[in-house]
A and B are shown apart, each in its own frame.
Chain A
Amino acid sequence: MADSNTAMQDYDRPLLMAGGLGKTYGRLNACQDVSFSLYPGEVLAIVGESGSGKSTLLQLLSAQLAPSSGKVSYRMRDGVMRDLAALGEAERRFLFRTDWGYVHQDPVLGLRMAVSAGANVGERLMAVGWNHYGHIRDTATSWLERVEIDIGRIDDAPRTYSGGMRQRLQIARNLVTEPRLVFMDEPTGGLDVSVQARLLDLMRNLVSELGLAAIVVTHDLAVARLLSHRVMVMKGGRVIETGLTDQVLDDPREPYTQLLVSSILPA
């Protein structure tokens, strides 16, 4: 752990910055002119309906897709702000399995389904050079406990897990290297409502306990309200409204945002 002074300074400097970010496919503007700064510990929700460009934006931000215009910079652990497009592939992949997490909507994409839960969690540790089975297993065990998976299931493969357990396992697998930024793509999509609630609660606690920054793509405004500090509303590839989450949801300004908010079924 670095001394708290530098930690305090880091807190006031952006962790990730997007400037004029855009992606075109031929004549189609999938995403255009997105700019924002994300600070350490901040949770940003990107909301909008299917086709609004939010998933494209997430891929641009996580360097899985090269932008047609603009750039994304990220503050590396050494404090230096780097242009993601200028990172070498090795650096980018290293970032992806250490300082970043990526929670897929479909856990099958984020897990090794045929490998035990313990190894799924331990893989990122082994990838950064952990070479002591006992330590790896202890760490995996404590992470399974944190995401409320019965540690008696540590040697079972996730294909024997329920949807909610798989999603929680995916979260443990991502957080084990203590990343500073986690991308989440519809993390509660496809889960039962009761399972969703449990998962949201868990994510909320982990994010605040670990001081994680997160970018969450969701079409579910309830998810945005529960998890995020700030929200960006997207429509037709553009950010049409942005602000504090409760501000945007309780006092929406744009016609589209008002429509979104008024479309929520009463609980």
Chain B
Amino acid sequence: MTAMIDIRHAQKTFTMHLQGGIELPVVSGVTFQVEPGECVVLSGPSGAGKSSILKMIFGNYRCDGGRIGIRHQGTLVDLASAEPRQILSVRRATIGYVSQFLRAVPRVATLDVVAEPLIANGMARPQAQERAGQLLRRLNIPERLWPLPPSTFSGGEQQRVNIARGFISDLPILLLDEPTASLDAANRAVVVELIEQKKRADVAMVAIVHDDEIRHLIADRIVDVTSFALAA
């Protein structure tokens, strides 16, 4: 088995204690694999649980059943049952996550926000900053903004900073949550190009994309989430 991601019968239910303990089933029986160099796009209407699945793969949402197998440094780790330490290690070395919104760290310069994942993995700061600069330039973030913290930027700029931060490291798995949502055509094209590059580098990707055009450009395979959805 060569799959980077191997999900079997994964299940997620929210229990809303503040609303009298009602149970909100989100997904169940989630089963699919992602091979290296492959981009799988999750499809389905809003509320079908696409984001929840992505968050389960990242270990951000806990799994109530099933297995989320991740190939991590040559071994298979089941994130559904992994220790917090293991999940952290998987995030450091294996899985990257590009969310819609930048969880901005106050006061840190944009260049450093982008370079941080490389530095955290041991790259020297100047080298990491240089790569960060290349990526920011590609995403059309003007150089005069680099020393400023991104929290003051517009939504689109923040998203591009976030994309740069997500794409900069050489992790074998990338999770993309609407990476092109509020970008203009030029920048959308850059993101598509970045995804193509990652594919050539054998990165396994799972993406949520609402834009049909982009979806067709990047998807190697489409997994319909509706069949996993339990709601209604």
Q: Which residues of A approach B to under 8 Å, CB–CB?
A: 39, 42, 197-198, 200-201, 204, 208, 226, 229-230, 243-244, 246-247, 250-251, 253-255, 258-259, 262
Contacts and interface: CB of A to CB of B under 8 A. Distances in A.
9 contacts: A197-B107, A198-B106, A198-B107, A201-B107, A230-B84, A244-B87, A246-B60, A251-B14, A251-B62
Contact of B106 (A201, A229, A243, A262): A201
10 tightest A-B contacts by CB? A255-B17, A197-B106, A244-B84, A251-B61, A201-B107, A258-B17, A230-B84, A246-B60, A251-B62, A258-B18
Given A243-B84, A251-B55, 9 more contacts: A197-B107, A200-B106, A201-B105, A226-B105, A244-B84, A247-B62, A251-B61, A258-B18, A259-B17
B62 A253 contact: yes
B86 to A, nearest CB: 10
A208 B120 contact: yes
A246 B84 CA distance: 11
A140 B126 CA distance: 26
A253 B15 contact: yes
A250 B16 contact: no
B133 interface: no
Interface in B74-117: 84-85, 87-88, 105-108
Contact of A247 (B15, B16, B60): B60
Contacts of A254: 17
Of B14, B21, B84, B88, most buried by chain A (CB within 10 Å of CB) is B84
Contacts of A229: 84, 88
Contacts of B17: 254-255, 258-259
Nearest to B16: A258
Query: For chain B, what secondary structure do more than half of its interface residues adopt (helix, strand, loop), or is it mixed?
Result: mixed
B59 interface: yes
A259 B18 contact: yes
Contacts of B59: 244, 247
Given A229-B88, A243-B84, A262-B18, A250 B60 contact: yes
Contacts of A262: 18
A253 B55 CA distance: 16
A197 B108 CA distance: 11
Contacts of A42: 85
Nearest to B14: A251
A39 B55 CA distance: 25
B133 to A, nearest CB: 20
B138 to A, nearest CB: 27
Nearest to A242: B84
A247 B61 contact: yes
B15 to A, nearest CB: 7
Interface in B48-65: 55, 59-62
Contacts of B108: 201
A243 B83 CA distance: 8
Contacts of A201: 105-108
Nearest to A201: B107
Interface string B18-29: 100100000000
A167 to B, nearest CB: 15
A250 B105 contact: no
A39 B85 contact: yes
A81 B169 CA distance: 37
Of A201, A251, A253, most buried by chain B (CB within 10 Å of CB) is A251
B120 to A, nearest CB: 7
A253 B107 CA distance: 32
Contact of B62 (A197, A204, A230, A243): A243
Interface in B107-161: 107-108, 120
Contacts of B88: 229, 244
B60 A255 contact: no
Contacts of B84: 229-230, 243-244, 247
A42 B85 CA distance: 9
Contacts of A258: 16-18
A259 B107 CA distance: 30
B114 to A, nearest CB: 16
Nearest to A243: B84
Contacts of A198: 106-107
A262 B108 CA distance: 27
